[in-house]
Structure 1
């Protein structure tokens, strides 16, 4: 009996010293989903680009400016003498309205106070405010990826909707930190 216990113990020791083996994955995924998603995004971007180019072409008397961030804008009211732009942490007070590319109003004139880059605001508007001086009024045209993108705003703005926003920057309160 003693020999049997010793034999059993040595078999268990040998079996427990075996190194772990790698398991094969149950399913192999290719990058096809990501490639298809990227292709859909490229097509969507091209379609929106054509729509925006048509708006610009149909308004030859307006001087549109292409931003480095991927949206377009023009000045309704431009302030020439001030160089006071909002910076990180500054508090800005602004008014805005939002419409789709056909000009249908989505949100009427709204007022908002926003702390630059410290609060939630959709990408295009956040970047657009950085281009503004107090008392300027600018109209921005944002492709959907600079607006609310794939998710929309869970209210009136749906999936992949490019937007036109007219924004008036009322004031900038500088952060003294």
Structure 2
């Protein structure tokens, strides 16, 4: 029930048209005022999402630990490990879930021999790949700002949706 309330509150917040302005398509030009409004909206949304994620964590049997980049992971001290260097190769896969723990896509996203510094990935995934060990599996709890943000993925993921990402280094 808390999961449904969480998603409902996030959806209601993102639908409040009184405080939002229309954003031009990607590549469009925003005034400084529009940029400031958008930045403030994302800041407020992030605070709300973080609070809901922390409440969700409290009722989970698994422990989650905050990272410096603003997401949670199932490994304590995860982002304190040695980082993988730029231009090193990594193969990985991940599945996306909503906070009802419903899998969003049937097929996992998988990349083979991706080179750091040369691939475009979700911010939280790219950051986690820097610290994950070969063969390790971790779960990330990611606010929408580090996932698909205000645009969604234009397929199954709407705008402003926080995600659970199950990531594995192959």
Q: Structure 1 length normalisation: TM-score?
A: 0.67
Cα distance change of structure 1 residues 39 and 84 upon mapping to structure 2, 3 Å threshold: closer
Name which of structure 1's ranges 151-160 and 30-39 shifts more when overlaid on structure 2: 30-39
Deviation at 1:152?
Answer: 1.6
Where 1:106 maps in the other structure, the secondary structure is coil
Q: Deviations over 1:35-57 (max 9, x none)?
A: 43233222211221122111211
**Distance of 2:84 and 2:72 partners within structure 1:** 19
Name which of structure 1's ranges 148-157 and 30-39 shifts more when overlaid on structure 2: 30-39
Q: Any conservation in 2 of the 1:124–1:147 contact (CA below 8 Å)?
A: yes
1:103 to 101, 104, 107: 101
Greater CA radius of gyration, 1 or 2? Answer: 1
**Distance of 2:44 and 2:166 partners within structure 1:** 27
**Distance of 1:109 and 1:73 partners within structure 2:** 22
**Distance of 2:73 and 2:100 partners within structure 1:** 16
**Distance of 2:32 and 2:168 partners within structure 1:** 44
**Distance of 2:32 and 2:169 partners within structure 1:** 45
Asked whether 1:56 is paired with 2:32, we answer no
Q: Structure 2 length normalisation: TM-score?
A: 0.70
Structure 1 residues 1-177: aligned runs within 5 Å: 32-59=33-60, 61-75=61-75, 86-110=84-108, 111-113=110-112, 114-170=114-170
Q: RMSD of the TM alignment (CA)?
A: 2.2
Structure number with the higher strand fraction is 1
**Distance of 1:84 and 1:109 partners within structure 2:** 30
Cα distance change of structure 1 residues 133 and 31 upon mapping to structure 2, 3 Å threshold: closer
Deviation at 1:89?
Answer: 1.1
**Distance of 1:31 and 1:88 partners within structure 2:** 34
**Distance of 1:66 and 1:128 partners within structure 2:** 12
Cα distance change of structure 1 residues 109 and 136 upon mapping to structure 2, 3 Å threshold: farther
Q: Any conservation in 2 of the 1:88–1:116 contact (CA below 8 Å)?
A: yes
Work out the number of aligned pairs and report it: 134
